[in-house]
Structure 1
Amino acid sequence: MDYVNSVIQYLNDYFAYVMQYQDEIWQAIGQTFVMVGISIAAAILLGLPVGTLLFLCRKGQLYANRWLFTLLNSLVNVIRSFPFLLLVVSMIPLTRLIVGTSLGTLAAAVPLSVIAVATYSRLVEQSLLEVPKEVLEAASSMGASKLQMIFKFLYVEARSGLVLGLTTSTISFISYSTVMGIVGGGGVGDFAIRYGYQRFETELMVFTIIIMIILVQSIQFSGSLASRLLDKRRS
């Protein structure tokens, strides 16, 4: 009984200590949501079309184009293989041109969006490659236009993989966002470094890690559930 009381007292003291920084914690969470939200939007609005174009420009596909495929494929490979910290630093002039500054949450979202587009476009291409060729052949035999083949057949068949790919990408974006403190982007990772590591406040470091674990697990669970519900093979 004394042990239980000691644990309860410790937890009460722990949360009382952490709550002293609740304003800074909520601000950091908000900054993470802004950076990741912008990168998700970029992945959907740009990564999905780029990944689709990569698939369609392959040999034997609807818009087979060797030169365009080689260009897009090389560009995606270069961006994905670029060390992220070096990408952030090298993009400072472009970031300043786009948002007017190289510091802050919005500025941090620019390189994060670039890596988001490259990452998700590759996953989109892989998901579309898993669609059986018979689906497009059937759509063509029914007189579907090329746009109908893409939106009403290709995306419908690949929707489960597309959602799962976006889920995986989102978790990667969260991981990337933790280092955006180098350009003043803030976020949960920056909070953990400034308060937990540099000030040697282990309690805050542990608390931010718990927040990140809960966030990532929630996204993974939601994405996996949505993917299963959308999987035509299970319907």
Structure 2
Amino acid sequence: MALKVQRQTPLFEKKEVEQVVEPADLNRLWRLLEDLVGGMADRKEVLVTLGEEGAIRRNPLVAYVVIRLLDDPDTDVRNEAIRQLGIVVAEIPSDAVSLRVREIIGSALGKFDHRDLFGLLLSSSLDATMRGDMGRLLNLNPRSGELLADVVGDRSVPMSIRNEAVYFIGQLGFSQALGTLERLANRIESRQRGQGAMPFAAPANPEDAAMLPAIQEAIKKLQPF
């Protein structure tokens, strides 16, 4: 199966690929990428191999292909993509190529909307060890606070994912989401007080009420002393 990466504008130049890959290794790298997008191999293991060999942090094309897996329906593949990109982002760029790779990752994340975060937040909600790499990716996107706030406010989203968004807002200090959290907390608390005084009053949404402790904790972290 031929590798096809669709894009409207080029994210890298051909020379950016060639200058970091020896000719003898290029065919093998291409086969790995075909396995990764073709689904004919253990794609998680392909990601591990690419990471161990430094291909993700040293090759803009490879980084771009891995970014496309952040919304992969296969949980294992998506989780490994998060891990490998988190490792790359954690490193300080040492040359023009590694800086370019970091820019590509940041540019791709900057195009996300809040729905694009669902799979990522689901991964870390099911496996807390993913949170470190997730946090590094979120920190690379200046709009993450805004997007996470949108997730928290979207009642159609499962509570586990909304809770995870609350966690990252507080943990990473996304103060632009403070207003959203305060309004939600005030609404829940107001409903609870009203229900206590007048049992016939409309109760707070059960899922919102269950999230209140996490919301209050995040607000404490965001508010200045």
Q: How does the TM-score come out when normalised to structure 1? A: 0.26
TM-score (norm 2): 0.26
Bigger relative CO (Cα 8 Å, ≥ 6 apart): 1
